[in-house]
Amino acid sequence: MRESLDPWPFVLGAYGLTLITMVMLAAWAYRTMRSAEARRDETRRK
């Protein structure tokens, strides 16, 4: 009889890593957008 690895821990790990990465990417994009909007508003006031 041949023993094989259970693939589900790897699948769940990949989904978890993807979810964490997507949240971090969205947070980075939001912060960058807010920073760019603040710079734009600052240049419009001058």
pLDDT tens-place string over residues 1-46? 678 889 999 999 999 999 999 999 999 999 999 999 999 999 998 7
Q: What is the pLDDT of residue 17?
A: 98
Q: Is the dihedral of CA 17, 18, 22, 25 positive or negative?
A: positive
32: tokens are 């960058």
Whats the size of the chain, residue-wise? 46
pTM exceeds 0.85 = no
Alpha carbon of residue 21 to chain centroid: 3
Long-range contacts of 35-40 (CB under 8 A, 24+ apart): none
What residue ranges in 1-46 does DSSP mark as E strands?
Answer: none
